[in-house]
Structure 1
Amino acid sequence: MAMKQRFEVGHAVAFPKGAFLRGEVEAVADFNGERRADGSRPQQHDKETGLPLWQCVVIDGDEDAGRKEIGVTVKFAAKYQPVPPENKSGMPWTPVEFVGLTALPYVDDNGVRPRIAWSFRATDIVAPGQGRTVAKPPESKSAA
């Protein structure tokens, strides 16, 4: 049975060596929409939620990632433009972590031979370590 829907994937599973923001979070252009008077395209909206779509490109930190796999696009369906964390790393790219990351495999047949590719979506973009949920310690039972 083929998967026809997105599935949740942890950031550490998708990007075990980290992800590094290259550029900014930008609106996704709707190439099916009519051009505006100034020639620009309207913003694309998510088919399920109706929310505007945003995207960013990250560099996959995995040294084994292939040439076509090193630059990964992650999209967000959000009312407002997601704000990435401040770059405090000293590197030209901002280390990031994705919250609520989902993946959808598809066949990319734009090359010499078809290959499996991934479409990623996230609910938020944060500094590494900020997206993990910390389990609450069990409440202690007081002896009466």
Structure 2
Amino acid sequence: MALKSAIPVDFDTFFPYGAYVVGEVEPVVKWSEDGDRQGQDLDKVTGHPIWRVRVIDADPEARKGQAELMVKIASVTEPQLPPELNGLPFRPTVFEGLSVTPYVPEGQGRGRVAYSLRARVMKPAPKSRGAE
């Protein structure tokens, strides 16, 4: 049986060491078949515009090249970034409604699987115990 939709996953399961947004929220561009830009892409289920953010996985075992991910968020309005951490460009975040879609990247052939991440909501991470 083939999967026909994304696989829901708990944030703490996917990011057990936390996640940090780096950079800005960006609209996901919709492209035509012949490579022309056609505005912002829309979510097929909700019809809402799709946004994306770069995220660093804080897992120390994350392999090189896999520690940075993109998470897409379908939202009528541009999602707001969590506050920076102590003036650094790292923003501790939590994603609600996180889901994963595995796929084989074009031109990669067999043996390599990549993951597309989506979320319903991006929120600031709660302060950890002992944080002031």
Confirm or deny a common fold (TM above 0.5): yes
Q: What is the match of residue 135 of structure 1?
A: none
Aligned with 1:101 (options 83, 87, 98): 98
Q: Could you state the TM-score of these two structures normalised by the residue count of structure 2? A: 0.83
- SS in structure 1 at match of 2:93: strand
Which of the pair is proportionally richer in strand? 2
Percentage identity across paired residues of the two chains: 38
Separation in structure 2 between the aligned mates of residue 89 and residue 115 of structure 1, nearest angstrom: 37
TM-score, scaled relative to structure 1: 0.76
Look up the equivalent residue of 1:29 and give its one-letter code.
Answer: V
Q: Tell me the distance in 1 between the aligned counterparts of 2:109 and 2:3.
A: 25
Shift of 1:116: 1.5
- Counterpart selection for 1:121 from 111, 118, 128: 118
Q: Deviations over 1:48-72 (max 9, x none)?
A: 2211110001011112112231111
Residue 5 of structure 1 and its aligned partner are, at CA, apart by 1.1
Displacement of 1:8 in angstroms is: 1.4
Could you tell me which runs of 5 or more consecutive residues in structure 2 were left unpaired when the two chains were aligned: 128-132
Compare CA radii of gyration and give the structure with the larger one: 1
Q: State the superposition RMSD in angstroms.
A: 2.1
What are structure 1's unaligned runs of at least 5 residues? 36-40, 131-144
Paired letter, 2:11: H
